Amino acid sequence: MHSRRLVVKTIKIKGMSCQHCVMAVTKALNAIDGIENVQVDLKTETASYDETRPVDTVVITEAVKKAGYNVAG
């Protein structure tokens, strides 16, 4: 039995305007290996998720960009 690494992270997402955008960003982030339990909030323009192993920020930025949005900051 090995311990499970888990870090909760929150990032800022720019460009979302409706629930369709929220779903698109959620799907893009959920597809990344090492990211789980994605929660995207339109009003605060944030995405929170559990990182179960280290994920390069470039991977996250590119996935969000590919979905049509941007990671701010």
Q: List residues near Cu ion by CB under 5 A.
A: 17-18, 20-21
Q: Which of 70, 72, 73 is nearest to 15 (CA)?
A: 70
Taking the complex as a whole, the smallest distance from the CB of residue 50 to Cu ion amounts, in Å, to 25
Tokens of 66: 């590919």
Instruction: Please count the other Cβ atoms lying within 10 Å of the Cβ belonging to residue 13.
Output: 23
Nearer to Cu ion, 53 or 65 (CB): 65
Taking the complex as a whole, the smallest distance from the CB of residue 67 to Cu ion amounts, in Å, to 11
Nearer to Cu ion, 13 or 32 (CB): 13
DSSP code at position 40? E
